[in-house]
Amino acid sequence: MTTAIGIIVITVGLLVFIGQALSFFAPDLATKTGLNSPEEDMDKTLYIIETKANGLSDILLTWMFPLSGLLMILDHPSWPFLALVGSGVYLYFACLTTFCRYFLQRQGIKAGSAKDVKVAYVFSVIWILSSIAMIVLGFQELTSA
């Protein structure tokens, strides 16, 4: 079970990390691969925030979560610490993604196509569930020592 969760965390974690790196460094490629909403489907300010501000901050922070999954599989003693910090980053990321789109759309601001918003919601739920699983496993590991 731990190995399966580790593989899921590595997979969904790398999707965010690689997606945000592409979004920051090559937004056109990120859009072509479906990792970004097209610029014309988003409010200009939101597009800049998503591709540049969030892209750079996520590049700097999101590496911890997939690394924690790998270290958990390898049974390295530092994995629970990275899991707790990385899970916090991913919980924040998922909530920010969800709430931004929800509240912007309610105000009539373009936050991506309907399909892109649904995909963002689905992946946000996956990131939240993965984060919760890693928080639980991290606390269990730290309290059993």
Per-residue pLDDT, 145: 64
Q: What pLDDT is attached to residue 89?
A: 95
Residue 50 confidence (pLDDT): 87
Round the average pLDDT of the chain to a whole number and report it: 93
Question: pLDDT digits over 40-88, tens only?
Answer: 999 999 999 988 998 899 999 999 999 999 999 999 999 999 999 999 9
Q: Containing H/E element for 85?
A: helix 79-106
**Domain carrying residue 36:** 2-144
The model's pTM: 0.87
Task: Give the count of domains, the chain.
Answer: 1
Beta bridge mates, 41: none
For 32, phi then psi, to 5°, come to -60, -35
